[in-house]
Structures are given as structure tokens and as C-alpha cells.
A and B are shown apart, each in its own frame.
Chain A
Amino acid sequence: MLFLNQLINGLHIGSIYALIALGYTMVYGIVKLINFAHGDIIMVGAYVSLILITDAHVPFYLAVPVTMAFCALLGVLIERLAYKPLRSAPRISALITAIGVSMFLQNLAQQIFTATPRPYPTVFTVAPIVIGKLSINFLTVLTVSVSIVLMIALQAFVRLTKTGKAMRAVSEDMGAAQLMGINVNNTISITFAIGSALAAIGAILYSLNYPLISPTMGSLPGLKAFIAAVFGGIGILPGAMIGGFVMGIAESLTKGFISTQLPDAVVYGILIVMLLVKPAGLLGKRTSEKV
């Protein structure tokens, strides 16, 4: 029973990781950049929704789309201002820029909101669903189902729409896509917007589960989600989803059965083993340079 409970907890947190990991993987797929600032979008999303709900008394169902729009805009803004000028620069420079943006967002939040954590309101007061001895929180059901629906929607978007096709083309070969008449800049902006909007939902779901908001709250889920993305094969959407669930479940099982000190080590350990066995991640294909 404990095992099942931990498994459900793992699914809960794992689906949040998966949502965030999608943003990492989309951005990496298209501009080959580890967007270190993605984790801090979560933090921004948490604060924005917190202010909307508690200070502005906006109803929850309205706060969600507004937060999404805000984060999407922020994501696009960051890309245009900080990453775009570096598109042809060495990749490590872009990486350092991403780190700089991440630090900037954290410290800006610290200036505005101070370092003291703020509590997140409880939105849902629905009784847990009880099946036999097993009780499942409404929040868990909501989180897992919202995540799965969004993942399927995203997958359909990327597979079936014209914009999705453009995204795949740009990620495959930016130069060729441009020559085929695809507006590369807009496509990249859309990618950042979608990734950041998903992070906003991830942020709200995360905050509902861990209701304490602080300027540095984004780094840990950000890092875990990033590991999930690499685990599944960075750049590959289904990989990020699987990676998110694996990481969440591994973390929760370690907490439940081994030690509360070790989940991070186990998560990294799983990643290392995966990369040693499959150097490009679970679903990644190893591309070797043509000689």
C-alpha cells in the first residue's frame, strides 16, 4: 500500500517535471541551448498567480490563462533580448547568458518580493478520492490529468499543425528552413512562448503541491525537469514526458523506501547510468559526425 501511495506521489510530481521538461526540450531542440532560465520562469509564474489570486482576487480559472500569457511573453522577451543576439556565437556563450538571465530573474524577484517565502493559497478543498485503503488527492488527479492532456495536445500541435511543422523544420536545420520560407525568428519565439506557458501551468501545479513561494524556488524543479529532459533524450517531446515520470517516481520511491537524504543522488545516478548506456538519452538517436 505504501508502495502504491509512493507511486502515485511519484506520478503527481513526475507529471509536473514532465510539463517543465517539455519547455527545456522544445527550446533545446530548436536553438540547441540549455535554457537555464526556464526554472525561473516557474518562479515568476508562481508569483504572478499568487498575486493575481490573493492580492487582486482574480478567480482561479482566470488567473491561470493570465499567468500563462505573462510567462509566454516573458519567455519571448528573454529570447529576443538575451539569446537572439548570440545565435551565431559559441554555444557556451549562450549558455552563460542563460545562467545570467536565471540569476537576474532570481535577484529581481528578491528585490521585489524579498527573500522571505510566501504561502500559496489553497484553491481546491475537495475530499480525497478513496478506493479501498488507497486515498488519492484531488490535486493529484488534477495534476496528472492536466499534464497528460497538455502533453497530448502539444504532441498533436507539433505533429499536425503548420506551425508545428515549421518548428520541426527549424530544429532539424535552421538554414534550410529559412531558405524554404519559414520565418525562423517567429518560429523560435512561438517555441519559447509555448514552453514558458507550459512552465506557468507547471508552476501553478507545483505551488499547489508545495505551497511556499520564494525567489529561488524554481531552480530545484527546473534542474530535475532538465535532468528528465536529458534522460528521455533532449529535443524529443515523448522523451521528456517519460523522463519526467521516471524522475518523479524514482524520487518518491527513494524518499519512501531508502532515505530522505538521497533522492537527488538517485536521480543523478539514474541519469548517469542512462547516459552511459545510451549516450543520447532514452529515445535519443546518436548522431555521429560524418568524416
Chain B
Amino acid sequence: MKMNKRFKACLLNLIAIVAVYFTFSLLINSGTLTRYHRNIIFTICINIIMAVSLNLTTGMLGELALGHAGFMAVGAFTSAIITKAWGISTVISFPVALIAGGLLAAFFGLVIGIPALRLKGDYLAIITLGFGEIIRVIIINLPITGATKGLSGIAKLTSFNYVYIIMVLIIASLFTLGRSRHGRAIISIRENDIAAESTGIPIFKYKLFAFTLAAFFAGVAGGLYAHQQGTINAATFDYNKSIDYLVMVVLGGMGSITGSIISAVVLSMLPEYLRDLTALINDLLPAIKITDPRMLIYSLMLVLMMIFRPKGLLGTAEFSLLNLWDFIVRHVKRFASLITRHLPERKKAITMPEVPKYDYANLDLPVLETKQLGIRFGGLQAAKDVNIKLMDNEIVGLIGPNGAGKTTIFNMLTGVYKPTSGDIVLLGKSIVGSPTYHITANGIARTFQNIRLFKSMTVIENIKVAFQTRMHYTPMEGIIRAPRYSREERGIDIRARELLSVFGMEDVADTPADSLPYGQQRKLEICRALASNPKVLLLDEPAAGMNPKETEELMNTIKIIRNRFSVAILLIEHDMKLVMGICERIYVLNYGNIIAEGTPDEIAHNQEVVAAYLGTAAEESKEESATC
């Protein structure tokens, strides 16, 4: 049934793509459409490429970039120089020039991205704006690009075939990429970058990848633009042009590819319609003579659109022909049987994600050990001489009053903070200085005190992100849906559903994570952490905000996890019933120092611990300490 649905969707899209192609080909070849209209169609296609490619960085990755026109300029000038200089058949030189333009733009994207992507939010926007403008100034000052005069006499090689096919290829590849492990990784960074890195995603690499790929597509679009216009001037590619494309992306809905397409079409045609409107107004009301109010109306619409639909036309949702079809089918029932009787079930090849082999021989050695671990923030010594040992399959508690430095220790163990002294040894190897995603891949997974899920992704996608480190298909294999893509994706789908069923969450697999109730969100976070197959699981206040019954359940769950997944668990918790109930050993932290270590019983009777918690003389009853 599921396969059938996907097949139906593909078929419908294919039919639509081919139908649009033949309709316009026919109209253009028969001369029904004038050159003026043809140019509008080309412009629309180029704008669509620009919008969907910018949507990759701004929508899917969630990083605001304001220099997209700069990459377009690189592609435009590169390809124009190539076709002008290369006296070979244009059937060869034009595609080569387009790809070369794309590649050089991608190279610029890489060079700019490496420094720029270390910044976030508005700062990234400004620095990309700066780089985009610098590209423009460089082009204006280079003799080879015609300096201030620009290039003219470029052969008008952009035809409907070229522009339409390239557009379809780029849109399709963005769609397939978005649904591969690489796309999931990119979207998870948008949703929550800290959680993404802790789940094993090398976030910088993926940011750079998305940024460079977007630059490549923009470069190709630039090539098409140059060979549509015939003359190009660097002044065209200023930040206002970048902003035009950004407007398309935001109006369509960030992250929605179909939204970008729709808004690119509408915004490209709008000026033409408004032109007619102007003439009409001037005819009807000759008294108030207006001179071309297109931009005035356009800007007003932009403001109103944002006020009334701040998330854009489609939000992050995608318009789907299949849904439209289903909508029609539901109303015209008799058409349904025509399509659905296909496709016998075939046996599908599946590759299960491999279980990582942790090469450590000696079970008597701790899986995780800190040696004199310490960290100093300026003048504040947040942790000092912390020695913690975690044996295989052990459940250990880390308790202490608020501000004692518990989460700081977790952050050091996972590489979020770099310790200023001491060492952390995981399975016999020091991991100090390793990036977070690397530590995750090597066996430490964690949850967060304040839940960090990839909210707009579904429950199962949240878990699939964590399988990332154990999948192998390349972005290209993901884009073209190579056999390895299908095998691995089927494998993790099975594994992810298995994992969910352990927690009794298989029913909610396809609902968005942020629609889950609180307790299930906590469970999902644990589930996601386990999906990376850790040797050590760090739980940061798993029972926070749970009622006694839920806490009870959680205690059982933690025990099940330990037995079933053979992992060592270190947990921070304030609920003493839980800590005393399941921990085999407990460390007590106060002011960044370990003040006690021992079995729950020993800790409960430790005078120093009681004093640390209650801040009074140690004679206070231990029952009270148990309620902290």
C-alpha cells in the first residue's frame, strides 16, 4: 500500500512534468508564444532555480544568506567567457560552460563558507552580504569580465529545453536529497544544532555542503541567465538581487521547495500583470496620473503577506500533486480503481545498519573514566579534579545541588565544552578535544535537561538522524536514489521502528515530534540517543517534570535499556527516589568537586552530602535529604 502510494506520486509528478514540457514546447515551436512571453518563461525557470537553491541554505539548513546573487554572477561570467572564447560546437561548449560556471561558483561558496559559516543568524547574513558585494566589486574591476562595461555579444544559447530540463533536474535532486540521510542531517541542524551534533552529525561539514551545493546551482542559473540576456553587467548582481530571491523563498515558505517554486512563478509574473493594471487605472482615473506603481504595489503586498502569513505561503509543508489527486479522487470516486491496481510486491534488498564494534578487550577496565577533570570559565572554577569511573553495564548517578556543575561535566564528556585540565578516557582512548559528533560516533550519547528534539520532523525521522553515522551512501547516491540508498534506508526504517516499539511508541512514529506529550518527548530523546548505539548513555534529568507514575515507568525503562542495549548509564537526577532506586553507585558533586562516592545506602548516610543538600548541620534527618 505504501509503495503504491509512492509510485502513484512519482507517476503523477512525471506526467505533470512531461505535460508541462510538451505544452510549452508546442506553444513555443508553433510560434503561439511571442519572444516576449518566451523570455518571461525563461526568467521564471531561472528564478525558480535561484529560489529553490537558496531555499537549501535558508530554508532547509536555516541559515540566512544574503549573497546568493554573487554566486549567480560568478556562474554567469564564467560561462559567458567560456562560450565566447571556445570556438567549438555550442552543443558541447554550452553544457560545459554551464557546469564550469556552477563549479567555480561552488568553489567560491566553499571558500566563503569556510570562514562565514562559523557565524550564525544575522551575522552570517551580513557576512554573506559582504562577500556577495565583494564578488561584484572584483568582477567590476577585472579586465577579463569586461570591467564596468560587462560582457556583451554572448550567444543566446539558453533554450526552453535547456532551461526546463535543468530546472526539473535541480528541483528533483533537491527533493531526493531532502529525503536522504544527508537531507535529514541538514534539516536536523535547522531544528536544533546542538542536538544534531550530539546525535553524531558533523554540523559544520553539512552546513558547508549545503552552502556549496546551493552556490553550484546558483552558478548554473547564472550561466543560463547570461546566455538568455546576451549581455551581462556585474552591477545587476548586487544585494538587491539577492534580496529578491530571499523574498521568493520566504514568501513561499522557508524549507518548502514547492512553496519556493510557486512564489518564484508568481513574483516573476506579477510585474507583467501589474503593468496591465497600471494602464487600466490610468484609463479609468486619468485625474490621478500614476507612473508605473508596480514596485509600490509589490512592496505593499510583501508587507501585507508577511503580516498575515508570517510563515509564508506553505510554511515548511510541501504541495503535493498526489494529495491534490487524492483530493480529487475522493470526490470523484470512480477514477480511483484506474491507478491503484499495479505493482506486485517484490522482495526488496535490505542493508541493516551495522552495529559498531567497540574494540576493548578488558572488561575490568572502565568504559569511561575522567582523570582530574576540571574546567574554568574566566575566574570561575566550575569543576575541579573530578574523577568518575563508569564500568560496563553500570548505572551510576551524578547528584548535587543546583549549580554544582553536573551538566558542565556532561558537556565536557560530550565535547560541548573543552576541559581546561585533566583527561577523559573512553574505551581506553582520550577524547579530550574531539568534536562532539566524533565523540558520539565513538560511543557516548546523551539527552538534554531541556528537551532538544528536531521538532518539525516526525518521530521516526528524529531517530533516523541518529543512524546517520552508520550509513554509507553518498549525497549523489541519495539524489539519484541508487540501490545502496534504498537498501540502507529500508534497513534503518526497520531498526528505527524496532527501537520505537521497545518504548511502546510505534504508533506515533509518523507524527511530528513537537505534538507528542511531554513524557513521550523525553522518551523519544532517550530513544534517539540509543539509536546511535552508544556504549555510554548520559541522561540529564530524565525525570524532570514527570509525575510519580511516569517516574516509576521511567525507572523500569532505564533498567530495560541497560539490559537490552548493554550500555553504561550515567544519570543526573534530582528525584532521589529514582536515583536511590536504580543507581548502583552515586557520585555527589558540590561546587565542582566530588564530595562523596558510594552505594545509594552509603550516600544516604553521608553527613557531608546531607549538609551540602540542606545547608544545615548534618543531624537533619536523611528522609528530608531524600526529597530534594
For B310, the closest partner residue in chain A by CB is A89
Per the bound structure, the CA–CA distance linking A146 and B179 in Å amounts to: 58
Bitwise, B411-437 to A at CB < 8 A (1) or not (0) is 100001000000000000000000000
- Shortest Cβ distance from B176 into chain A, in angstroms? 26
For A272, the closest partner residue in chain B by CB is B130
**Among candidates A89, A93, A99, A227, residue contacting B126 with C-beta atoms closer than 8 Å:** A227
For A85, the closest partner residue in chain B by CB is B307
Does the CB pair B250–A272 fall under 8 Å?
A: no
Does the CB pair A82–B307 fall under 8 Å?
A: yes
Does the CB pair B130–A291 fall under 8 Å?
A: no
- Shortest Cβ distance from B187 into chain A, in angstroms? 16
Within 8 A of B (CB), among A54-101: 82, 85-86, 89-97, 99-101
Per the bound structure, the CA–CA distance linking A25 and B312 in Å amounts to: 27
| With A96-B250, A96-B302, A104-B299: A272-B64 Cβ-Cβ less than 8 Å | no
- Chain A residue numbers with a CB within 8 Å of B251 are 96
Complex A-B: 5 CB contacts under 8 Å: A91-B121, A96-B251, A101-B303, A275-B119, A291-B416
Bitwise, B241-253 to A at CB < 8 A (1) or not (0) is 0010011001100
| With A272-B130, A275-B127: A103-B311 Cβ-Cβ less than 8 Å | no
Most buried by A among B127, B254, B293, B416: B127
Bitwise, A17-34 to B at CB < 8 A (1) or not (0) is 000000000001000001
Within 8 A of A (CB), among B274-305: 290-291, 293, 295-296, 298-300, 302-303
Does the CB pair A96–B246 fall under 8 Å?
A: yes
- Chain B residue numbers with a CB within 8 Å of A106 are 295
The SS class assigned to the A binding surface is helix
| With A82-B303, A107-B295: A34-B310 Cβ-Cβ less than 8 Å | no
Per the bound structure, the CA–CA distance linking A226 and B299 in Å amounts to: 21
- Chain B residue numbers with a CB within 8 Å of A234 are 122
**Among candidates A92, A103, A265, A269, residue contacting B299 with C-beta atoms closer than 8 Å:** A103
Does B141 interact with chain A (Cβ within 8 Å)? yes
**Count of residues in A whose CB is under 8 Å from the partner chain:** 45
Within 8 A of B (CB), among A239-291: 261-262, 264-265, 268-269, 271-272, 275-276, 279-280, 289, 291
Per the bound structure, the CA–CA distance linking A226 and B118 in Å amounts to: 21
Does B194 interact with chain A (Cβ within 8 Å)? yes
Does A161 interact with chain B (Cβ within 8 Å)? no
Per the bound structure, the CA–CA distance linking A262 and B300 in Å amounts to: 35
Does the CB pair A89–B411 fall under 8 Å?
A: no
Per the bound structure, the CA–CA distance linking A97 and B250 in Å amounts to: 10
Bitwise, B297-323 to A at CB < 8 A (1) or not (0) is 011101100110011100000000000
Does B133 interact with chain A (Cβ within 8 Å)? yes
The SS class assigned to the B binding surface is helix
| With A104-B300, A291-B448: A86-B119 Cβ-Cβ less than 8 Å | no
Does B25 interact with chain A (Cβ within 8 Å)? no
Does the CB pair B123–A275 fall under 8 Å?
A: yes
- Shortest Cβ distance from A30 into chain B, in angstroms? 14
- Shortest Cβ distance from A246 into chain B, in angstroms? 15
Does the CB pair A265–B133 fall under 8 Å?
A: yes
**Among candidates A34, A86, A291, residue contacting B407 with C-beta atoms closer than 8 Å:** A291
- Chain B residue numbers with a CB within 8 Å of A107 are 293, 295-296, 299
Per the bound structure, the CA–CA distance linking A275 and B123 in Å amounts to: 8
Identify the B interface with A (CB < 8 A).
58, 64, 115, 118-119, 121-123, 125-127, 130-131, 133-134, 137-138, 140-141, 194, 239, 243, 246-247, 250-251, 254, 290-291, 293, 295-296, 298-300, 302-303, 306-307, 310-312, 407, 411, 416, 448
Does A16 interact with chain B (Cβ within 8 Å)? no
**Among candidates A86, A103, A110, residue contacting B306 with C-beta atoms closer than 8 Å:** A86
- Going nearest first, the 9 A-B pairs with the smallest beta carbon separation are A89-B310, A100-B302, A103-B299, A268-B130, A104-B299, A100-B303, A93-B310, A265-B137, A107-B296
Does the CB pair A89–B303 fall under 8 Å?
A: no
Per the bound structure, the CA–CA distance linking A108 and B291 in Å amounts to: 11
Does the CB pair A97–B302 fall under 8 Å?
A: yes
Per the bound structure, the CA–CA distance linking A106 and B302 in Å amounts to: 14
- Chain B residue numbers with a CB within 8 Å of A280 are 123
Does the CB pair B448–A99 fall under 8 Å?
A: no
Does A122 interact with chain B (Cβ within 8 Å)? no
- Chain A residue numbers with a CB within 8 Å of B118 are 276, 279
| With A96-B247, A107-B293: A268-B134 Cβ-Cβ less than 8 Å | yes
Extra pairs beyond A96-B302, A265-B133, A276-B115 (6, CB < 8 Å): A82-B307, A95-B64, A103-B295, A107-B293, A230-B123, A264-B133
Per the bound structure, the CA–CA distance linking A103 and B298 in Å amounts to: 9
For A34, the closest partner residue in chain B by CB is B122
| With A262-B141, A265-B137: A271-B130 Cβ-Cβ less than 8 Å | yes
- Shortest Cβ distance from B186 into chain A, in angstroms? 17
Does the CB pair B130–A92 fall under 8 Å?
A: no
Does the CB pair A271–B448 fall under 8 Å?
A: no
For B408, the closest partner residue in chain A by CB is A291
For A102, the closest partner residue in chain B by CB is B299
- Chain A residue numbers with a CB within 8 Å of B295 are 103, 106-107, 110
Per the bound structure, the CA–CA distance linking A28 and B123 in Å amounts to: 12
| With A261-B137, A275-B119: A90-B296 Cβ-Cβ less than 8 Å | no
Does A135 interact with chain B (Cβ within 8 Å)? no
- Shortest Cβ distance from A269 into chain B, in angstroms? 7
For B122, the closest partner residue in chain A by CB is A34
